[in-house]
Structure 1
Amino acid sequence: MASLKRKRELASRNPLGTSSAQRRFAADAVNPTRPHLLDYEASTNNTTREHEQGGGRTGMHNHVEEDNDLIDDMAEVVMAVDMREKGTVGCCFYIAREERLSILSDTQYGGKDLIDTLKLEICPTTILTSTRAEEATMGDIQWSGDPFHLPYRIDVRPIQEYGVNSAKAKLAELEIFQLESEQAQFLVPGDGLTQQAEEVIAENAGFSFEKGKILRLGGIVDIENLVSLGCAGAVLTYIQRRRTTNYSDQDNNGTACVVRSVETFFLKGTMIVDTFLLPANADAQQKMSLALRRIKNMRSVMTNLHKGLSSGKGAFGGFKGTIWGTLLNFATHALDLQEAVCEMNWQDMIAFRDRVFNILNVSSLRSVGRIIYQTVDIEDSQEQQRTIIKQGVDRELDLLKDRYNGLDGLLKQVAVDVASTIPEELQIEVNVIYFPQLGFNIAIPYDQRGQAAYTGRNESWEQVFTTENRAYFKDERMREMDEKLGDIYGLICEREIEIAHEIAQNILRYKDMLSTSSDLCGEIDCYLAMAKTADIYKFVRPRMSTENVIRIKGGRHPLQELTVASYIPNDVNIRGGCGPQLPHIENGDAEYPFLDAPSMLLLTGPNFSGKSVYMKQIALIVYLAHIGSFVPAQSAEIGITDKILTRINTPETVSKIQSTFMLDLQQVSLLLRFGTPRSLIIIDEFGKGTDMNDGAGLACGIFEYLLSLGNNKPKVLVATHFHEIFENGFLPERESLAFGHMEVRIDEESADNKEQVTYLYNFKPGRSNQSFGTLYESSAVHCAAMNGVDGSIVERANELVSLLARGQDLVAACARMSKADEAILEEAVSRHYVRDYILQLNPETDGHHMFIQRQVFA
């Protein structure tokens, strides 16, 4: 009764949403849970034998595993990296969960810093590198911040696996080339045609179509990236080797890698988010959110189904119980999602609605749900961690289960018979127990000597095994029951596994539909998250433009505004070059009136005034617009941007021998090499890590170079404290250069340093209207005072900054004595004068002078 009670409690909680499944997939009544072990107890002095459960083990897992056990190696991320001459870095990585292979472009002069960046961004679980890699590169790959273990596994592969030709051949065989029917066949001239071309059947003629596949490969992958292409070959070889290890030879489904094209997600994303935000769609949006909470990734489930099929049909093997609940949940709630989509008002997004209807195929999803719900006992399967088949599905299985359930009376009668053969004076309890795989056994308790209280009267009693408090025997009756009844529980498990394999094969017919539907659910989930964020935090839909501009009105930093009581929004308007398609033109040309914005915005102003946050918020708004999200602003027009290149923060680590300034130079070098007219470049206080004059000269040179690129000028945001660049006219004003500063209010009459400066965090065009000296004094010194620097140090710093601002000689100023030093010097000079005067007196003739002389020289 305990098991029945537990089953009813589980059903009352409805953990799998079975009410929804019952509504969709009609099924027979579910039978109560069968115990794994039947244990009957008999006493020699009682004619009534008592029934006891739970005295043995079934060999199955008794703990409850979480759904993430389905993941297994689906969380694996394999990254191959190689570095050739001139620091050219190639990289390819494969994400198992998404079945996505990504091939990066070769990067010259990338070096070890780029490898560090790739490791940080990709987060690999396995890194492949070739035997020809330099020792320094290997050392950099093997280093991690934790000295005790690496966050990834390193596998050094032979050079042959990085071959470019073999990589092309492997890539050409991927399933992406079989997704569409062939419209044409590519044959190389001179292949030895012996009949009319229109009569040739290419397969029969023995053509391999290799060159045609390579030709199609070039339309998806840049085959000129030789280093990265070799890395792709190494990744594919690694995956194939893993598949050979993990799957049986019968599993001939091909490689799991799929190279997908990158679609223009941002062009449609904001329109879909806008549709979700319509008031009329609020209820449907809530239904979609509830449905998506119960949906798991089907790609990992499909992989586990393949593994279950390839693992054979041995006893107690097969599929985990949670996999069927995951599939049933997906079918049930995907249908709920499809119904919610039907209820929405899509306005101009009918094409997306139709796409949802086509992918979330109602008939297929109902078939999947019906197959599982009418066949598998979900609750029992989760509890016992294996597949339990419902009553009425298979006649042979039902007979086995009926026989298993009928063991109650049989074991009870056998226990009575065995007890009757044992002398009554022993007064012992006798159990007749059935163990899966071990069969039927007689359990005899130990006596006071720690031995079995009864071992039988003849040689037919054989001790099989012992436990802590019992010995287990077999006699002729137990052997007869083993022979006639067999291992009933094992037979039940084997038959259920066979049925589970049939179910899995039926489900795998819908593999493509389920995987594609899962991807679509993830996409819709992203749109819902963006819509909810836009509604809560008042984001607006950006206008994506083909013009190379960034026009933002009332922009905000999406994270920074959550940390303050009120956030001051700011505007920006910059434009990049027109690229090589237009002749060189200057701003203000009558023929091109749209060129009304600078390409570089240079920010000056005090520390702590908000310059860095201002630049970061612009970069975040550009990024959010490009992933299809609404943006934190009143309005935004964002031109298509290919890269966001920054020199903001330099990560420092003892694993690098470069200085901080060297790392800054490497970052700037990369952004100068890879920047295009469509790029957004952000440089925050470059040059502060070296001599002030050298840093100012390098910064000025970089600014001048970026401004001199003509039509190829990128969009640039710069913050600097090198005011001497402007004071001395090193960076002349021009139409493509605009200045700005963050507004502050200065109270020079305040005696408290902490109250002298009020930061308004409001962007103002032009350079700061305060003098250089006053502004500088009110920034760095003010920050020092705010952070607890001693008042005397702050006061002295103010004096030196004021002298520097007036152009006075700091050496002479620092050599000037303080009032205390002047008093000491005056006292020393007076003593010297008095001593000389007294030495001229005659102490023998004047006793008063003699007394003074003793006091002076004492």
Structure 2
Amino acid sequence: MAIDVDKDGKVGCAYYVAMDETLMLEEDIPMGGIEAVDTLLLHVQPTSIIIPNRAPGDLVDFLERDAHRFDDNERSCGGQGAYILRHIVSAQFDYEAGKEALARVDHGSSKPDPIEVLTSTEEPVQSIKSSARNRLMRLAEKINLESCLSVGCAGAVLTDLERRRTAEDSSSEEGDMAFRFRVRFIEMNTSADTMLVSGDSLISLQILQSELHPNPQTRSSKNSEPKAKEALSITGLLQALASSAQGKRRLRQILLRPSTDIALIQERHRSIEVLLHAENGELTKSMRKLLRKLKNTKTLLLHVRKGVDRIRGQLSLRVGDWKALLRFAMVSTQLRQAIHALKGASGIEIFDQIRTEVDVKRFLHVGDIIIRTIDFQLSKESGHTEILPGASEYLDGLRREFADVCHMLPELREAAVRDAPWKAAEYIRHCTVMPELGFLIAVKLDPETGEGVYHGQDHPEGEWIMCFVSEDVVYYKNQLMLDLDSQYGDLPSRIADEEIEVIMALAAAVLEHEEAILGASGLFGELDSMLALALAAEKYNWTAPTMTSSNVIDIVGGRHPLQELLVPSYIPNDSSIAGGCGTGLSEETNMATNGSRTGPAPSMLILTGPNNSGKSVYMRQVALIVYLAHTGSYVPATRATIGVTDRILTRIATRETVVNDESAFLVDLKQAAFSMNFATRRSLLLIDEFGKGTTAESGSALFTAYLTYFLDLGMERPKVLAGTHFHEIFENGLLRPGKDVAFAHMDVRLDPDAEDPEEQVTFLFHLLPGRGSSSLGVLCAATNDVPSDVIRRAEAVVALQDRNESLVEVCSALSEEDKQRLSQAELVARRFLALRVPSSARGQGDGTTVREMLQGVLAPEEVATQGT
């Protein structure tokens, strides 16, 4: 993955997917900055990142936080980063060089360059330029060449791939390379028809939530990347319902790139509706079972393309891959038949594509040639690939010849025994034939000499030639063995070579159908993703949302898809907000129409009320319902009308780290700035307790100005959900409810007479209109085991604040114990000042010394008596 950021914050990115042999480019993201880079890392999850030497310092610092460190201390601790970060020469990110590199590897079009007729005055070099121009024109049909930074990044990726190919070619044999880093496809991800969900939003909404493997040894095994798994998140929840690797991968792509194309979203909704139809229940179950049998066909075909795999220095042919390909052919046929039997599937693209594009005859042909070539039963017994008789006449002939030779081996031993002295007969064990060594005779080892007890001594033909020693046996060649070698040759090696030729021929026959297999695999991945979404809708009681071009969000009975799995009962809540209608449109275009609520909806809903009452969960549930609707999934709600939303931006979670020298408040400010720079009227913003990282005065001022900025956008204002505990904003009239602003709070029931603090407040988690009067922070502290003296002190301070009394007096007030100690100290001072100290050090005339006088002043009983 290559990343570049210019001085204005524009971000370019390109990355190579080795399994797909695809070079992907992202459109340049203006003013994206570090936030856009963070989002790209979450989407791509790269193993290696390259950046130019001139990269901005903040980009370098950000990427180095999670980069793999190669110093000894990190290695000894087992700490490994998520990726390898490398700095390369900035010239490799040059735009013109990137265009030329892309044009050279553009294999996406099979159209030849048009033949141009040259006049007598034209130079031949013009035709070369014309060919390059034609390649660039074809390239421009697939990627936006105006994304200069991303094109430069693509050039850097291609240069790095060339370096890797050169390195592997020089260090590996041709058959050992798993990847050739070949670029077969070039694609570009565009922002058109795609909802932008920032990296902070992906984390704070728990769309993505990875965690390290609980086993430390697995988590940081030697020469491997850190093992992570998806924790409780939307991605983890839905991917667990997919049956195949293709389905899990396609589902992740859908989840990370929600669509704003209403037609596509509705097509997915119709697909889910068909799969949920009662008459199709058994068919969907059988399709899930069939999909579980599929392996990743891209990996399978990669192994087929290699043909053989080197294991422990020996060539071993894969049998599991052929079995998986055979299973793919059988499953493809059964899945196509199941699609034909689905009720109501006609006219839905994914089902129509499977019916028309999955060539059953072709796949059955592939399965047939595999069945006629591979002996799976014998392969299972022997541990390596066995070729069936009849797959190759030449191989069958070699095998018959080898079988005849094996029958000859006992006779060869008898012949060797007859030629040897009678005393040596007992030491000749057997005759055998081995690959590359040919025919051999085995003799018992003499431990004293390290040779055979008999090895042709006193034989007319001379002594035998020793080949090797194995345990207590020495293998020799005599003249008879040499004659057999010349007559039959190296039969085992010839058989092995012919088996490889047969397998290579089978691989070539299968690879003729590679595009069809990959195409069908992609369709099955899409089908599996729809089956997973349908299963989620059935399992978690989700319903189909109504998508509209109006800029509204109207939800009845909405639920949080993750939170409801963790509590015994979940209280649903409604939501109704609408963004600006845009220039030239009337406000009536954005109306809430669910239930009995019909009328203009506010663009901003501000939530107040007690801590722990469910405000943050409510905001997240609205965002997740909008997000799931744009992925084409059903949503956790009784009914929902969702307007097309182009971006979900959040100011919720503050992701801090010890290697980041930015304060929590500064991180919050950057998130707020990002949302202000990128929000449009179709965006949804979640703002939770912005401004809490500084003083109450500054925080409330920033929060008010932040919300006012969006309200002042007028017809271009976005949809905003905000939560705050700055009640002084409303008490001072800085934000008032109106047509565009509404207040709401979560319902609670208070019982001040209850002795147990936990029984004094009951959270009902039900949204009510209007502003909450208190945050009940002290009561929440009491229910969370904060010491009682701290609670009493806090209650006293809150009471003074409610009476608008000065907190200075409270903070300067003394406790009873302090007052008593101060009174005692005052009495001691008064007694000391009342003393008449004599001029003589001997004391007074009654014999009392000065020391005794001072001790009397400090005597506690006297102090107490004086105090009374």
* 1:216-231 equivalent positions in 2, closer than 5 A: 217-218=139-140, 220-231=142-153
Question: Which residue does 1:729 correspond to in 2?
Answer: 733
Instruction: Note if 1:615 corresponds to 2:537.
Output: no
Q: Which amino acid aligns with 2:353?
A: R
The 1:128/1:836 distance shift into structure 2, 3 A limit, reads closer
Instruction: Note if 1:804 corresponds to 2:801.
Output: yes
The 1:786/1:466 distance shift into structure 2, 3 A limit, reads farther
Question: Which residue does 1:328 correspond to in 2?
Answer: 326
Instruction: Note if 1:302 corresponds to 2:305.
Output: no
> Of the candidates 638, 642, 650, which is equivalent to residue 638 of structure 1?
642
| Deviation digits for residues 612-657 of structure 1 (CA, Å, limit 9, x no counterpart) | 1111112211121111111111111111222211121122112222
CA distance in structure 1 between the partners assigned to 2:425 and 2:138 by the alignment? 87
Is the Cα contact below 8 Å between 1:587 and 1:736 reproduced in 2?
no
CA distance in structure 1 between the partners assigned to 2:335 and 2:125 by the alignment? 45
Instruction: Note if 1:121 corresponds to 2:43.
Output: yes
> CA offset at residue 278 of structure 1?
0.5
CA distance in structure 1 between the partners assigned to 2:181 and 2:64 by the alignment? 35
| Deviation digits for residues 351-407 of structure 1 (CA, Å, limit 9, x no counterpart) | 443211112111111111112111222344566675432111211111112223334
| Deviation digits for residues 714-765 of structure 1 (CA, Å, limit 9, x no counterpart) | 1111111111111111223321111111111121222332222211111112
Question: Which residue does 1:439 correspond to in 2?
Answer: 438
> Of the candidates 488, 512, 516, which is equivalent to residue 513 of structure 1?
516
The 1:821/1:126 distance shift into structure 2, 3 A limit, reads closer
CA distance in structure 1 between the partners assigned to 2:511 and 2:345 by the alignment? 36
> CA offset at residue 286 of structure 1?
1.4
Instruction: Note if 1:488 corresponds to 2:491.
Output: yes
> Of the candidates 87, 95, 114, which is equivalent to residue 164 of structure 1?
95
Is the Cα contact below 8 Å between 1:419 and 1:430 reproduced in 2?
no
The 1:606/1:252 distance shift into structure 2, 3 A limit, reads closer
> CA offset at residue 142 of structure 1?
3.8
Which secondary structure does the structure 1 equivalent of 2:687 belong to?
strand
Question: Which residue does 2:351 correspond to in 1?
Answer: 353
Question: Which residue does 1:373 correspond to in 2?
Answer: 371
CA distance in structure 1 between the partners assigned to 2:855 and 2:305 by the alignment? 110
> CA offset at residue 566 of structure 1?
0.7
Question: Which residue does 1:628 correspond to in 2?
Answer: 632
The 1:99/1:566 distance shift into structure 2, 3 A limit, reads farther
CA distance in structure 1 between the partners assigned to 2:520 and 2:24 by the alignment? 22
> CA offset at residue 298 of structure 1?
2.1
Instruction: Note if 1:414 corresponds to 2:412.
Output: yes
* 1:152-191 equivalent positions in 2, closer than 5 A: 152-171=83-102, 178=109
CA distance in structure 2 between the partners assigned to 1:503 and 1:388 by the alignment? 13
Instruction: Note if 1:97 corresponds to 2:19.
Output: yes
> CA offset at residue 159 of structure 1?
3.6
The 1:367/1:642 distance shift into structure 2, 3 A limit, reads same
* 1:750-765 equivalent positions in 2, closer than 5 A: 750-765=754-769
The 1:351/1:113 distance shift into structure 2, 3 A limit, reads closer
Instruction: Note if 1:570 corresponds to 2:596.
Output: no
Is the Cα contact below 8 Å between 2:464 and 2:476 reproduced in 1?
yes
Q: Which amino acid aligns with 1:533?
A: A
Which secondary structure does the structure 2 equivalent of 1:669 belong to?
helix
> CA offset at residue 713 of structure 1?
1.2
Is the Cα contact below 8 Å between 2:14 and 2:157 reproduced in 1?
yes
Is the Cα contact below 8 Å between 1:696 and 1:725 reproduced in 2?
yes
| Deviation digits for residues 193-234 of structure 1 (CA, Å, limit 9, x no counterpart) | 789xxxxxx999778355555456545433332112211222
Moved more, 331-340 or 155-164: 155-164
The 1:463/1:425 distance shift into structure 2, 3 A limit, reads closer
Is the Cα contact below 8 Å between 1:599 and 1:715 reproduced in 2?
yes
* 1:232-631 equivalent positions in 2, closer than 5 A: 232-239=154-161, 242=164, 255-259=183-187, 264=261, 265-308=264-307, 317=315, 320-346=318-344, 349-381=347-379, 387-420=385-418, 421=420, 423-424=422-423, 427-428=426-427, 430-449=429-448, 451-452=450-451, 453-457=453-457, 458=459, 459-580=462-583, 582=585, 596-631=600-635
CA distance in structure 1 between the partners assigned to 2:53 and 2:4 by the alignment? 10
Q: Which amino acid aligns with 2:371?
A: Y
CA distance in structure 1 between the partners assigned to 2:556 and 2:586 by the alignment? 30
Q: Which amino acid aligns with 2:625?
A: I
Which secondary structure does the structure 1 equivalent of 2:307 belong to?
helix
Is the Cα contact below 8 Å between 1:266 and 1:626 reproduced in 2?
yes
CA distance in structure 2 between the partners assigned to 1:783 and 1:605 by the alignment? 12
Question: Which residue does 2:779 correspond to in 1?
Answer: 782
> CA offset at residue 855 of structure 1?
5.7
Paired residue total: 752
> Of the candidates 809, 812, 815, which is equivalent to residue 815 of structure 1?
812
> CA offset at residue 87 of structure 1?
3.4
Q: Gaps spanning 5+ residues in structure 2: where? A: 69-73, 194-260, 838-842, 860-868
CA distance in structure 2 between the partners assigned to 1:164 and 1:383 by the alignment? 57
Q: Which amino acid aligns with 2:52?
A: S
Is the Cα contact below 8 Å between 1:100 and 1:260 reproduced in 2?
no
TM-score w.r.t. the length of structure 1 is 0.79
Which secondary structure does the structure 1 equivalent of 2:660 belong to?
coil
> CA offset at residue 818 of structure 1?
1.9
The 1:440/1:855 distance shift into structure 2, 3 A limit, reads same
Q: Which amino acid aligns with 1:398?
A: D
CA distance in structure 1 between the partners assigned to 2:797 and 2:739 by the alignment? 36
Q: Gaps spanning 5+ residues in structure 1: where? A: 1-78, 196-201
Q: Which amino acid aligns with 1:307?
A: K
Is the Cα contact below 8 Å between 2:615 and 2:746 reproduced in 1?
yes
Which secondary structure does the structure 1 equivalent of 2:441 belong to?
strand
CA distance in structure 1 between the partners assigned to 2:590 and 2:522 by the alignment? 46
The 1:186/1:610 distance shift into structure 2, 3 A limit, reads farther
CA distance in structure 2 between the partners assigned to 1:759 and 1:552 by the alignment? 22
> CA offset at residue 279 of structure 1?
0.8
| Deviation digits for residues 437-462 of structure 1 (CA, Å, limit 9, x no counterpart) | 22222233334537333333143411
Moved more, 668-677 or 793-802: 793-802
CA distance in structure 1 between the partners assigned to 2:437 and 2:846 by the alignment? 132
> Of the candidates 63, 72, 84, which is equivalent to residue 6 of structure 2?
84
Which secondary structure does the structure 2 equivalent of 1:446 belong to?
strand
Question: Which residue does 1:74 correspond to in 2?
Answer: none
Q: Give % identity.
A: 35
TM-score w.r.t. the length of structure 2 is 0.78
Of structures 1 and 2, the one scoring higher in RCO (CA 8 A, sep 6+) is 1
CA distance in structure 1 between the partners assigned to 2:537 and 2:746 by the alignment? 27
The 1:156/1:816 distance shift into structure 2, 3 A limit, reads closer
Is the Cα contact below 8 Å between 1:346 and 1:353 reproduced in 2?
no
> Of the candidates 693, 707, 714, which is equivalent to residue 711 of structure 2?
707
> CA offset at residue 531 of structure 1?
0.9
The 1:633/1:450 distance shift into structure 2, 3 A limit, reads farther
Q: Which amino acid aligns with 1:672?
A: M
Is the Cα contact below 8 Å between 1:186 and 1:211 reproduced in 2?
no
| Deviation digits for residues 259-286 of structure 1 (CA, Å, limit 9, x no counterpart) | 2778854231111011000010011111
CA distance in structure 1 between the partners assigned to 2:615 and 2:64 by the alignment? 38
The 1:523/1:165 distance shift into structure 2, 3 A limit, reads same
> CA offset at residue 287 of structure 1?
1.4
Is the Cα contact below 8 Å between 2:267 and 2:349 reproduced in 1?
no
The 1:102/1:808 distance shift into structure 2, 3 A limit, reads farther
Is the Cα contact below 8 Å between 2:25 and 2:189 reproduced in 1?
no
